[in-house]
Amino acid sequence: MTCAACAVSVESILKKATGVKDAGVNFANQSAWVEYDSSISQPTDLQNTVRSIGYDLVVNVEDPQAVQEEAKRKHYKEVKNRTLWSSILSVPVVVIGMFFMNMPYGNYISMVFTSPVVFWFGRNFYVNAWKQANHGKANMDTLVALSTGIAFIFSTFNTFSPEFWHQRGLHAHVYFEAAAVVIAFISLGKLLEERAKSSTSSAIKKLMGLQPKTVRVILNGTEQEIPVASVKVSNTIVVKPGEKIPVDGVVKNGASYVDESMISGEPVPVEKTAGEKVFAGTVNQKGSFQFEALKVGGDTILAQIIKMVQQAQGSKAPVQKLVDKIAGVFVPVVIGIAILTFTVWMLFGGDNAFTHALLTSVTVLVIACPCALGLATPTAIMVGVGKGADNNILIKDAESLELAHKVNAVILDKTGTITEGKPVVTNLSWQVENALPEMKNILYVLESKSEHPLAEAVVNELKKEFINNVAMTDFESLTGRGVRAIVNHTMYFIGNKKLLHENQINLTDATEQLATSWQSEAKTVVFFANDKTVLAVIAIADKIKATSKAAIAALQDKGIEVYMLTGDNEQTAKAVASQVNLKHYQAEVLPSGKASFVKELQEQGKVVAMVGDGINDSHALAQADVSVAMGKGSDIAMDVAKITLITSDLQLLSKAFNLSRKTVRGIRQNLFWAFIYNVIGIPLAAGVLYPVNGFLLDPMIAGAAMALSSVSVVGNSLRLRASKI
């Protein structure tokens, strides 16, 4: 399927098939579901039904996805070859038409080069135009087929029978270059569309790749490796360090930290002990444990995320292109004018009525050739995309570029979007005067041995000051509290307040006050102590990006409502929102909750942009009108999103909206110039001035006007390159 209309056609034919109760087609992932009576109809019958309208269904094969991918690859290759060869063959035709019009056999050479472009490489335009005509509709394909077909037929007649015009005192002009160039240009546009569309399903594939293919299960007291598809509810599954969790379940024994950023978006791994829930697709860290499977197959959270992304992508039918809307009115009008022109000349043309009627009506159809009209949108889009790339804004979808300037609600993820996305030490206060290098060394060595996710932040902070190793004994990790070890016959502790209380280590009022103030700023506080006193207080947090506050202010100044949605706790969310001056925020939001909020705003009539960086944002990104990913985020988020901010700087978001506004303005200006050309040219081609001064539009002038119109459109688009966003 090449467009949303194709999906509608397939869906309607399936619904009408014998024995079918209901059916649906997802354009995004090129799939269909059918509810049918197996006693009346079989999958092969449905396949034949779909084949009858020019499409195909993949049924009764071992790997349908592989077959589908091969079909997509072949189609893209076909479009690419079509574009390449039509462009190559058009070059000599244009050269002859522009510079060597009077060369011997020039018209015959042009005809030979144009024939394969029109009848082979451009055949799809004629097929689609015929399908549209059968349904009483007209679009850009109709305009292309009509103008290029008429131009070719008229030019061929003039090549073989120039004397028909010479006897009547007229020059037998040909339009081969117009026919060839239009098909080459429009084919290039189709190729760019296919290229952009080919990445739609790659996000789904990557999400599916998060689930391991095999899993270790304890069956009859022994550990066995089985396919993940064979896992049943209540099976006991073994997870080792660094492995992905295959299904949803609850921990039976063992302990570890699990990276759940794909669900929560939060960078800090979560501690898992007996009784804690674990989810498919999340990644185990250093420990190992066993868990009981609770949800398998399509019931897991990962499977639900995949399903929701597919549905969100498929539900968004592309906005019908403005040019197609225009063509739907323009084509019948042009045909009407051509018929009217022929009729009027036949009735009032005198002695040369037929000659003038034929010449003027054909000139009307040829001069309406959609070269400028066809260039109006793609040239502006291409320049806009290039301008975006120059400013670290990667735009994958023309629709998003056209729509972005209408955005009036922006939803921001917290971690990795507003914040850096990585815990760092924000404060380190030594509670002893002139902290000895030895103290820093002890703190460094203890944290480097710890498995706790926050320990890495302390190690990174201290490694530049680390001098010598220290002899350490009796190192012990205390679950939920911290670590302890003996250095030089002294016990040292690193952990939370609970660990200090357990070992009768008292906090001074000043230390406690300091810790409380940091905690109110949504920072995690860690204490370093010996067996008598607290030596240092450390604050760890996910730092807010330096540009986030200014970026949010810039969006708010445009009158855009800005929201923050995060899987983090209320305290942290409140603190971050306060620091960047955000009024609207929600904490502890699941992936499906983010998408629901997007939908809720859309139902209020808002044009919503979603900005995120993680797998947990993928459903909301797919649902949003404009989806924006951070360049340093997950590959899946970038695949789902249609715009990527390469440097992960939120300030680029305002630039993207400005770029969209200027690009759309350029498209409108281009369409104006294209239409001015037709508004002036078509009446002249019809011969409205003939009764006044005996003037009939010379085909040479028509060709020059057509070229000038295209040049003005391209020139106007190129102005965007020099503009500031």
Q: Which residues are catalytic?
A: 413
Give the number of other CB atoms < 10 A from CB of residue 360: 23
Whole-number Å distance between alpha carbons of 657 and 659: 5
* Residue 607 backbone phi and psi in degrees, to 5: -95, 115
Residues in the chain: 725
Nearest CA among 474, 435, 433, 475 for reference residue 455: 475
Dihedral class, residue 528 (left if φ above 0, else alpha if ψ from -120 to 50, else beta)? beta
Burial (0-12, 13-18, 19+ Cβ within 10 Å), 451? middle
Start-end of H helices in 135-232: 140-160, 163-166, 176-197, 202-208
Q: Is 73 exposed, middle or buried (0-12, 13-18, 19+ CB in 10 A)?
A: exposed
Query: Which of 707, 125, 672 has its CA nearest to residue 376?
Result: 672
User: Pick from 1, 7, 41: which is nearest to 25 by CA?
Assistant: 7
Cα 683–chain centre separation = 44
Neighbours of 497 (CB within 10 A): 15
397: left (phi over 0), alpha (psi -120 to 50) or beta: beta
| Three-state SS at 310 | helix
DSSP 8-state symbol, 523: P
Residues 255/278, Cβ–Cβ less than 8 Å: no
Q: Which candidate, 119, 123, 178, places its Cα nearest to that of 151? A: 178
Output the CA torsion 275→279→283→288 (10° steps): 30
Distance, CA of 217 to CA of 239 (rounded, Å): 9
Q: Rounded to whole angstroms, how far apart are CA atoms 166 and 170?
A: 5
Give first-to-last CA distance, the chain, whole Å. Answer: 37
User: At 611, is the secondary structure helix, strand, or coil?
Assistant: strand
